[in-house]
Amino acid sequence: MVDLAVTVRDICAVRPTVERFAEATPVRPCDGFSAVADAHVLLKLDNLQPTGSFKVRGAAARIGSLDGEARARGVITASTGNHGRAVAHVARRLGIPATVCLSENVPAGKVEALRRLGCRVDVGGASQDEALVRARAAASADGGPTLVHPFLDPVVVAGQGTCGLELAEQVPEVGTVLVPLSGGGLAAGVAVAVRSLRPTARIVGVSMDRGAAMHASLAAGHPVEVAEVDDSLADSLQGGIGLDNDVTFPIVAALVDEVVLVTEDEIAAGMRSALVDHRLVLEGAGAVGLAAILAEKVSADDRSPVVVVCSGANAELAQIARLATSP
Ligand SMILES: *Cc1c(COP(=O)(O)O)cnc(C)c1O
């Protein structure tokens, strides 16, 4: 087997650092989704993290391990919002400067939330990939800040993997894990942890059906570019995986058993059911696993539990209101 960029040891090594900034989130059984799936469904509630998404895990692992000199230079990142928020949060807790580069597609609420977290926000360009180019340029300048990439960094992936360690401990008999999949930081980290602790568990990635770069790359056998969509409920799943991705692509290719795609309507149904039936606020990206269950796109053909990773809560309030009142 090929050597993967992240091992379960790496995940265990960053866990104490991650725990200084992130919660060990609860796992809750869910009768409604269990009935639909005809399986025991449990939700791993990373929507309850500080900053409203699992991204605080990776940011904590990366920034928490910088030395004093690097901390003084600060950190910079490009993000669809949640990673930027996580970086800003951890940086503020450590008292170090942070800059977040965003594309113009990012919803206004997320931009405002970043400003409130006290970081510098740099908005411009039509895509996240362009925002990343700006962040890279600043980071490569002499004495520039450290780039904290949302997924192309083994330390960040190890941080996200702590979610997988927790769920494998919380649900020892886990049979299937549904995990949202975009750049693959979360899926790769969770897959390494779960596969190592529960070797027989199936790992299923869930992406939106438009602009699913990892799905297209797996089909091609190497990283490929796809056109970005600018109006998805799952805006946190936008962006490419990087054409020279040697971190998450090989891990996802080796360890993720299947990738399921969900439509906008299915994502809306997942968010709506979470909200209306379970009083759970999830953003679109955080609800893709539930969407896949409601659309009966996951086969739970054995009696072992299905754990659905609910990755984030940061939906626009207007969007939540629309979903709550639509028939
Ligand atoms: C970033 C993000 C994802 C996707 O994570 P990747 O590591 O890019 O695959 C899923 N859900 C939410 C809420 C996110 O913020």
Tens of pLDDT along 118-139? 999 999 888 877 888 999 999 9
pLDDT at 231: 80
Residue nearest to atom 14 of ligand 1 (CA): 236
Q: Is the dihedral of CA 283, 286, 287, 292 positive or negative?
A: positive
Does the CB atom of residue 285 touch ligand 1 within 6 A?
A: yes
Question: What is the DSSP secondary-structure string of 271-289?
Answer: HHHHHHHH-----TGGGHH
Atom of ligand 1 nearest to the CA of 239: 8
Does the CB atom of residue 82 touch ligand 1 within 6 A?
A: yes
Whether the predicted pLDDT of 1 surpasses 60: no
Atom of ligand 1 nearest to the CA of 47: 13
pLDDT at 2: 66
Does the CB atom of residue 51 touch ligand 1 within 6 A?
A: no
Tens of pLDDT along 151-210? 999 999 999 999 999 999 999 999 999 999 999 999 999 999 999 999 999 999 999 999
pTM of the model: 0.95
Does the CB atom of residue 161 touch ligand 1 within 6 A?
A: no
Does the CB atom of residue 55 touch ligand 1 within 6 A?
A: yes
Q: Is 238 helix (H, G, I), strand (E, B) or coil?
A: coil
Tens of pLDDT along 8-30? 999 999 999 999 999 999 999 99
> In the sheet where 41-45 sits, what is the strand order?
27-29, 41-45, 306-310, 176-180, 202-208, 258-262
Q: How many Å lie between the centroid of ligand 1 and the Cα of residue 236?
A: 6
Which neighbouring-strand residues pair with 99?
Answer: 76, 120
Rounded Cα–Cα distance for residues 46 and 23 (Å)? 8
